[in-house]
Amino acid sequence: MSTIQSLLENKGWYTESGPDADVVCSSRTRLSRNLSGFSFPDKLSEKELSEVQSRIDTAFGKIDSRKGLHISPLEKLTPIQRRQLIEKHFVSQNYSLNKDKLVVYDRENSLSAVVNEEDHLRLAGFAGGLDLKKAYERVNKIERELEQYLDFAVSLDKGYLSADIKNCGTGLQASVLMHLPALEYSSLLDRAFKRVMEAGYEIKGLTGNDEGSLGGLYELYNPVAIGESEKDLLEKLAYISSQLVDYERRAREELKRHRKLEIEDKVYRAWGTLQYCKLLDEKESFQLLSHVRLGAALDWLDVPLERINQLLVLIGKAHLQQTIGSESTNETSKQVKLVRANLVKQALGFASA
Amino acid sequence: MICDICGENEAIVHVQQIMGGEVFEVHMCAECAKEKGVSLEKGSEGDFSLSQLLSGLVESFSPDADAKVITECPHCGTSITDIQENEKVGCPECYTVFRNQIEALIKEHTDNTNHKGKYPEKLRAYKAILIDKEVLKKKLKEAVQREEYETAAKIRDQIKELEHNPHSHKGHEG
């Protein structure tokens, strides 16, 4: 069990400040690698899967960076810890259910690895703001160390071979998590997305369903990993991201000029609600925090943007349960909402520790 | 014969590959061979996928190598219809077996279907000696024919550098 205060001391990619933070929450780069001499996970027997996992486990145990890493089978973690890995974007929901699988993450909460998902190994590096280079350096460093102990499947013209043919080549998928509320309010999203897709990139709402995005959060990423060097791929994605950043900023200026009262109402109403509410569910808090983030980016509210990025992770149920110290039941779900409301109040400075 | 990789010790491992009428050879000393993971005893632990690398090489020189029709990967059993439907393959061999079909699938997403990024450190020495050196030799010959001696001298230095230290060659680094 821990207190709300100790929860707020939890640091990671979601507390890092970075470039263009008024629009960009975070950057992520993922490298897919497979061991030579084995089929991809989907075609492996249980025995082969555990052989692959054990080789990767052994390699992680040998590299210089091992001291900064948590390397653990999921079964050694509590159910709450496993769900926290999802909330930190380290593993997918499906992956977290495989107790015999391995998970690796660093003490700074800026890097993670999963084994035998679609590929044998997927490494993900994170950084605050628009900083794909930093996110890539984090992941590339570990990969360079691992390749001393692992033979990755590679061919000269198709590069690193992956189960997904769109992923071969560099095996690199980079993504940028952006906050685009002004484009949303001004109904300019479709036009912006069209431009992104014409440039060969994809963008999706954070929730990934048809209702649009939760809290105005969108993820921009490269759909194909081959044909460019890692450097070019990252630079081009950074360039298209910065265009989208400009587009969102211009939309914000327009709103301030023509619909100021309306936007002020949204921002201060959210601010007021978060200050006085007693129970907060997850979806509502995403929406309110989105308005507050916009208010902070416009300098109307005095809150650090990183604080809001951090809350977007910590308002997850598993992180809140850590302060309650019990598993989810019907009775505790109200308790979770209460703790969420208290956490947000404390984080935004409405309540003291 | 001296090792192509370290340029110091006596080479005892000789790999020969014939591609498009040209013969490429790599000669390695025991230490470099071991360091590169080339196993001297067949089937032993840590066997480096030299054959996989070389098969890639052969194809890059003879694009129509897979003339006969194969519908299932002999290694993992994945069928070409599955691959075309899901854009997912079953094993690294699929990339060799269904080379042309996979090329076509990638082409639907991007015009640049060749890898331009980095390679594992272990492979860079091979690539430098087997391919880059040959490419440079050809360029050198052309430069000499065109009587561009300044360019030729530069290329000759690059080849020398490659022979002495294949790792330092700035081929593709991400």
**Interstrand relation of B13-19 and A217-221 (parallel, antiparallel or unpaired):** unpaired
Which class for B15: exposed (0-12), middle (13-18), buried (19 or more C-beta within 10 A)? Answer: middle
Which class for A232: exposed (0-12), middle (13-18), buried (19 or more C-beta within 10 A)? Answer: middle
Two structure tokens written together for A173: 């998928």
Confidence of residue A122 (pLDDT cuts 50, 70, 90): very high
Residues in chain B closer than 8 A to A160 (CB atoms)? 115
Mean per-residue pLDDT of chain B: 73
Distance CA B44, CA A313 (A): 47
pLDDT value at residue B125: 67
Nearest to A158 by CA among A43, A29, A55, A32: A32
Average pLDDT over residues A188-199: 93
Confidence of residue A210 (pLDDT cuts 50, 70, 90): low
Residue B13 in this model has a pLDDT that exceeds 80: no
Average pLDDT over residues A79-95: 93
pLDDT value at residue B25: 65
Distance CA B168, CA B62 (A): 28
**From edge to edge, which strands make up the β-sheet containing A102-106?**
A69-73, A102-106, A111-115, A121-128, A24-33, A172-179, A217-221, A202-205
pLDDT value at residue A13: 94
Q: What is the pLDDT of residues A127-177, one digit of tens each?
A: 999 999 999 999 999 999 999 999 999 988 899 999 999 999 999 999 999
Residue B48 in this model has a pLDDT that exceeds 90: no
Q: Which residues contact A311 (CB under 8 A, 6 or more apart)?
A: A285, A289, A343, A344, A347
pLDDT value at residue B50: 53
Residues 319-338 of A with CB under 8 A from B: none
Residue B21 in this model has a pLDDT that exceeds 60: no
Nearest to A177 by CA among A296, A16, A347: A16
Q: Which residues contact A126 (CB under 8 A, 6 or more apart)?
A: A12, A13, A26, A27, A28, A89, A109, A110, A111, A135, A138
pLDDT value at residue B36: 60
Q: What percent of chain A has pLDDT over 70?
A: 96
Question: What are the DSSP calls for A243-311, one per residue?
Answer: HHHHHHHHHHHHHHHHSHHHHHHHHHHHHHHHHH-S---HHHHHHHHHHHHHHHHTTSS---HHHHHHH
Confidence of residue A324 (pLDDT cuts 50, 70, 90): confident
Residue B60 in this model has a pLDDT that exceeds 60: no
Residue B69 in this model has a pLDDT that exceeds 80: no
Distance CA A205, CA A218 (A): 4
Q: Which residues contact A138 (CB under 8 A, 6 or more apart)?
A: A29, A110, A111, A125, A126, A127
Q: How many residues does chain A have?
A: 353
pLDDT value at residue B128: 66
Distance CA B27, CA A294 (A): 63
Average pLDDT over residues A299-313: 95
Phi-psi region of A25 (alpha: psi -120 to 50; beta: other; left: phi over 0): alpha
pLDDT value at residue A297: 97
> Nearest Cβ partner of B89 from A36, A165, A229?
A165
A-B interface: how many C-beta pairs under 8 angstroms? 136
Query: What 3-state class would DSSP assign to A112?
Result: strand
Two structure tokens written together for A52: 């692959």
Asked if B116 and A229 come within 8 Å (Cβ–Cβ), the reply is: yes
A6-10, A224-228, A298-302, B74-78: segment of lowest average pLDDT? A6-10
Give yes or no for a contact between B97 and B72, defined as CB atoms under 8 angstroms apart. no
pLDDT value at residue B18: 47
Which class for A131: exposed (0-12), middle (13-18), buried (19 or more C-beta within 10 A)? Answer: buried
Asked if B115 and A168 come within 8 Å (Cβ–Cβ), the reply is: yes
Residues in chain A closer than 8 A to B111 (CB atoms)? 227
pLDDT value at residue A244: 97
pTM of the model: 0.81
Mean per-residue pLDDT of chain A: 93
Residue B83 to residues A164, A310, B99, B125: CA-CA distances in angstroms?
Answer: 9, 41, 12, 33
Question: What are the DSSP calls for B58-125, one per residue?
Answer: HHHH-TT---S---B-TTT--BHHHHHHHSB-SSHHHHHHTHHHHHHHHHTT-S--S--S---HHHHH
Residue A274 in this model has a pLDDT that exceeds 50: yes
Give yes or no for a contact between A324 and A336, defined as CB atoms under 8 angstroms apart. yes
Residue B157 in this model has a pLDDT that exceeds 50: yes
Asked if B88 and A169 come within 8 Å (Cβ–Cβ), the reply is: no
Q: What percent of chain B has pLDDT over 90?
A: 24
Residue A52 in this model has a pLDDT that exceeds 90: yes
pLDDT value at residue A10: 86
pLDDT value at residue B15: 65
Q: Minimal Cα distance from A35: which residue of B?
A: B92
Mutation site for A-interface testing, chosen from B118, B122, B123, B129 by largest number of A Cβ within 10 Å:
B118
pLDDT value at residue A1: 52
pLDDT value at residue B164: 73
Two structure tokens written together for A271: 């601010």
B47 in reach of chain A (CB within 8 A): yes
A121 in reach of chain B (CB within 8 A): no
Give yes or no for a contact between A157 and B115, defined as CB atoms under 8 angstroms apart. yes
pLDDT value at residue B131: 66
Helical H segments across B119-174, by residue range: 121-127, 133-145, 149-164
A170-174, A228-232, A245-249, B39-43: segment of lowest average pLDDT? B39-43
Average pLDDT over residues B58-82: 70
B167 in reach of chain A (CB within 8 A): no
Residues in chain A closer than 8 A to B119 (CB atoms)? 154, 156, 159
Average pLDDT over residues A55-79: 94
pLDDT value at residue A191: 93
> Nearest Cβ partner of B117 from A39, A200, A229?
A229
Q: What angle (nearest 5°) sits at the alpha carbon of residue A112, between those of residues A107 and A113?
A: 135
Asked if B90 and A43 come within 8 Å (Cβ–Cβ), the reply is: yes
Confidence of residue B62 (pLDDT cuts 50, 70, 90): very low
Distance from CA of B16 to the nearest CA of A (A): 18
pLDDT value at residue B67: 46
pLDDT value at residue A330: 59
Asked if A223 and B59 come within 8 Å (Cβ–Cβ), the reply is: no
Asked whether the ipTM of the predicted complex exceeds the cut of 0.85, the reply is: yes
Mutation site for B-interface testing, chosen from A33, A117, A156, A237 by largest number of B Cβ within 10 Å:
A156
A36 in reach of chain B (CB within 8 A): yes
> Nearest Cβ partner of A154 from B112, B120, B131?
B120
Residues 76-95 of B with CB under 8 A from A: 76-78, 83, 87-92, 95
Average pLDDT over residues B71-88: 93
